């Protein structure tokens, strides 16, 4: 089968279902495309740029990043070669699987598995070989600088010398049809298997029988209707937290918040939105939550502005709209909210709702970091580490990673530990590396746990 015939047989990914994202250099398609077809033939939902993106559009690289960050992305399979390790788009795709923004969408790090295109041996030495080849190449100086930096960052950030992330193709199977696929598919999540086309229809769920006795009507003292909006909101707080001798009763709390919210009290509108979002005292209803957040936000309630911005950013209760997210993030950021400043920095860094502007991203990360926000500090450290929006400066990266790490951010703890391990921006210090890897591992960071094993400190 020719390569073109293989591509024709590959089906587009269903982005509404959990899927495996394939990250690779287009120069390795002879290896990758047959693999993708085999994965699909075995029932898995697989994303391949050529089948899901219009590569004639200038935005396709950014669109690929969005696919990795998408809620349905369950695993990244990265094909390791001298081409992919020097590819900045591949590096950015990998970074998108472990960044705080992606983690917040997935409630955890998106795992990755690496597959070698050709035998690589020790991954660190393989990286050194690529580094030397790039330096000796006739590539334009600017492109060469980017490629050299990308290789170093790739190895440093994602791989250890014992290749523990790399799946090696079968040594005695040049056609790759024996244990090669089984070894890779062993890490594919079951959730990425597509259901058969024909499925039996599920029986309808019978409607719940109505209650025989209607609930007694609440008294004005329980709903706050006879109180001022401020006092009704306070009574809602007392019911919500079960204080001042009152029982904890979310339904009564929501009723009090509603009494004050319907009379225009912005704090109660925010509180009622929170109840709807979390199903406290009322049925969970994200659309109702966003509606009350907007009422409060448009009255200048800072917490509501930030929360409503998140609703628009993630499409919770409202259609996803980055421009509206930016609007409300900016309102909160301009009032000094450190979380909103960090989030607005992300919008500039990823070009969401605003033109991509790394310098603007850094300005907002700095605002957030100066207020002690661990995410602002961490992302500012990344900016210095990658040289985006500021000159590359590993020492400054270490400075901000340390601030964030000491504020309890496990991602910064792991990054700082790597800097100590490999001597980026600081002299190598195994004891310090172990210290911060352990902090991150204790919070569940998988890569930190692997690093402790590698360093013999588990």
User: Edge-to-edge strands of the sheet including 73-80?
Assistant: 46-47, 19-23, 73-80, 112-116, 166-167
Backbone torsions φ then ψ of 419, nearest 5 degrees: -60, -40
**Nearby residues of 184 by Cβ (< 8 Å), 6 or more positions away:** 35, 39, 77, 113, 115, 167
Class of domain 3-192 (CATH, top level): alpha beta
Distance of CA 447 to the CA centre of its chain: 16
CB 12 within 8 Å of CB 52:
yes
Q: Which residues of the chain have pLDDT under 70?
A: 1, 98-109, 119, 121, 160-180, 182-183, 195-224
Inter-residue contact 217 to 245 (CB < 8 Å): no
CB atoms within 10 A of CB 100: 17
Residue 178 φ then ψ, to 5°: -100, -110
Residue 282: DSSP 8-state: S
For position 101, what pLDDT does the model report? 54
Tokens representing 326 are 């930016």
Backbone φ and ψ of 377, nearest 5°: -65, -45
The CA distance from 140 to 358, in Å, is 24
Write down the pLDDT at residue 152.
79
**CA 179 – CA 131 distance, rounded (Å):** 31
Tell me the whole-structure pTM to 2 decimals: 0.60
Taking the C-alpha atoms of residue 206 and residue 203, their distance in angstroms, rounded to an integer, is 9
What is the predicted pLDDT for the residue at 110?
Answer: 75
Query: Which residues share a beta bridge with 20?
Result: 46, 75
Q: Three-state DSSP class for 78?
A: strand
**What would the two tokens of residue 205 be?**
């769920």
What gap in Å lies between CA 436 and CA 420, rounded to an integer?
9
- Rg of the chain taking only CA atoms, in angstroms: 26
How far apart are alpha carbons 107 and 74 in whole angstroms? 11
Query: 232: Cβ–Cβ under 8 A, 6 or more apart, which residues?
Result: 223, 224, 225, 256, 257, 259, 260, 265, 268
**Could you tell me if 22 and 48 are in contact, meaning their C-beta atoms sit under 8 angstroms apart?**
yes
Residue 114: strand, helix, or coil: strand
Residue 202 bridge partners (DSSP): none
- The predicted structure's pLDDT at residue 371: 93
Any idea how long the chain is? 458
Q: How is residue 28 annotated by DSSP?
A: G
The pLDDT assigned to 183 comes to 67
Residue 77, H or E segment: strand 73-80
């Amino acid at each position: 089968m020719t390569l073109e015939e293989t591509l024709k047989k590959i089906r587009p990914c269903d982005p509404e279902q959990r899927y495996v994202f394939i990250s690779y250099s287009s120069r390795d398609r002879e290896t990758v495309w047959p693999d993708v077809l085999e994965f699909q033939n075995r029932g898995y939902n697989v994303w391949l740029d050529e089948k899901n993106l219009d590569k004639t559009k200038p935005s396709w690289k950014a669109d690929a990043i969005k696919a990795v960050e998408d809620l349905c992305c369950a695993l990244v399979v990265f094909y390791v070669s001298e081409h992919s390790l020097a590819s900045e788009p591949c590096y950015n795709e990998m970074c998108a699987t472990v960044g705080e923004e992606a983690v917040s969408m997935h409630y955890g790090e998106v795992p990755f598995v690496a597959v070698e295109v050709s035998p690589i041996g020790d991954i660190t030495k393989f990286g050194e070989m690529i580094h030397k080849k790039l330096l000796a190449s006739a590539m334009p100086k600017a492109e060469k600088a980017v490629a050299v930096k990308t290789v170093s960052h790739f190895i440093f950030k994602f791989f250890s010398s014992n290749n523990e992330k790399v799946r090696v193709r079968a040594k005695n199977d040049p056609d790759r049809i024996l244990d090669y696929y089984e070894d890779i598919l062993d890490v594919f999540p079951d959730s990425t298997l597509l259901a058969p086309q024909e499925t039996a229809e599920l029986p309808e769920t019978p409607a719940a029988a109505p209650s025989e006795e209607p609930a007694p009507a609440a008294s004005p003292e329980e709903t706050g209707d006879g109180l001022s909006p401020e006092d009704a909101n306070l009574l809602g707080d007392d019911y919500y937290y079960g204080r001042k001798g009152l029982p904890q009763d979310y339904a009564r709390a929501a009723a009090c918040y509603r009494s004050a919210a319907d009379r225009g009290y912005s704090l109660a509108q925010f509180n009622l939105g929170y109840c709807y979002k979390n199903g406290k005292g009322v049925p969970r209803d994200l659309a109702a939550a966003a509606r009350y957040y907007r009422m409060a936000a448009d009255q200048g309630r800072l917490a509501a502005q930030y929360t409503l911005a998140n609703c628009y950013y993630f499409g919770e209760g409202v259609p996803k709209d980055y421009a509206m997210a930016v609007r409300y993030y900016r309102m909160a950021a301009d009032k000094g909210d450190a979380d909103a400043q960090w989030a607005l920095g992300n919008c500039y860094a990823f070009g969401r709702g605003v033109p991509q502007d790394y310098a603007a991203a850094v300005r907002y990360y700095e605002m957030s970091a100066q207020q002690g926000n661990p995410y602002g500090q961490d992302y500012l450290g990344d900016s210095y580490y990658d040289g985006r929006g500021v000159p590359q400066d590993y020492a400054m990266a270490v400075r901000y990673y340390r601030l964030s790490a000491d504020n309890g951010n496990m991602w910064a703890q792991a990054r700082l530990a790597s800097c100590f391990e490999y001597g980026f921006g600081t002299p190598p210090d195994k004891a310090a590396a172990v210290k911060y890897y352990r902090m991150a591992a204790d919070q569940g960071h998988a890569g930190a746990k692997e690093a402790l094993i590698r360093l013999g400190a588990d």
